[in-house]
Structure 1
Amino acid sequence: MTKRAGTGAQGGGVLGRWWDGFSSRHPRASTWIREGGLFIIISYLVTFFKYLIMLFLPNLFGLGLAGNGWGWPDATFTVAGVTFTFNVLGYAPLLDGAGQVVIGGGLGYCLAVWISIILGECVNFPLQRRFTFKNSGPLAKQVPIYAVGVLVVNLALNAFNSVWTGLAQYLVPPAVYNIVTTVVAGGICMVVFFVIDKIIFAPGFGRPKRR
């Protein structure tokens, strides 16, 4: 039995043929859509991987490190009658209703967060490079820029959270607090890293220009 032309024998069916046609008519737009979609999928998979690490790692560091409220610059401010501690790096200890230290804060939590970030990005970087952007550029130039981006973005995010969490728990409803935290931690961070990846994984990045 022979298949009629144009019935999906080639090109992956109707959707495949539509995408092939769209890609040929709008190559730049199709590239952005494909890269953006894969970037989001991989980013969420890596986020889930980090989440799994955070399920157990803070507990491994124990209550001793959880009660160590190390942070930098550890500056105390009062805004609108609310006192909070500003930290670019580190977390205050987390206490229960009885004032006892519990897992989820302090130096132990800080170490767990950064270990999960490092391990997560060690997975994220090669996946985005290989599958999303299909890049084979010079790692010696890509990795340092990516590492600096990871450091700066996460320090800025931690600084924001130290202020936002300190104020928001007293000034806004929990629903608003959670929405803003999610948008900033997830959405904005994802956009920033997509831009970084588009730069360092661009064709010709880090390669000497031909004369």
Structure 2
Amino acid sequence: MEATVDKIDLKKEDSGYYSAKKNPEIRDLDSYYYLSISGRCDPQANQFLKAIDKLYSVAYSVKFICQAEDMDFVMPKMEGFWWVDGGLEAQHKFAQTPPDEWNWKIVIRMPDFVEGDHFYRAIQKVKAKNPELLSNDEVKFELINEGLSVQGLHIGSYYEEEPTIAKIMEFIQDNGLQVAGYHHEIYLSDPRKTPEEKLKTILRYAVKKVNNE
């Protein structure tokens, strides 16, 4: 009988990354590797949904390659970075910007044992199985380091995050910090199975200390 391979579950292995309280709090995060895909459109648009399909196709291909090497893992939660044109100074205008002008980067964090070679082989497998799915190098394998961050747990619709964001921004200002990264969401709930009012999403912002000199 073959031995059962233990699956790495990042939600359990690194619970601090995947948990948050309603009241804002500070976290100091390490660097992590992610699969990512970027674009610009309304999140209700077909382009966005196709991008998610592409990302998960590569993610599961990586998983199956690792599984064959006795390094299996539970698929991590999907995450997203969101911003509008104009740099960090313009991010307060996000709610007033039409959704079709939103920029996004959707990511899935990978376990530490996933390497560039796993990613390269996964891409080749996906292209061989469905050449039209990945027409170019849309999906990437990249290192992201947010470092010092402030986060809070939002419960409810993705389109009703303003009160939670306001609390986070007030906390950032009160603690002598300023935003140093784009709006980051970690989707703890599956919107296909969870009522909108019960959706749980971690809202996170990379920050830095204000230079008063």
Q: TM-score range by the shorter chain?
A: under 0.3
Bigger strand share: 2
TM-score after normalising by structure 2: 0.24
TM-score (norm 1): 0.24
Which structure exhibits the higher relative contact order, with contacts defined as CA atoms closer than 8 Å and separated by 6 or more residues?
Answer: 2
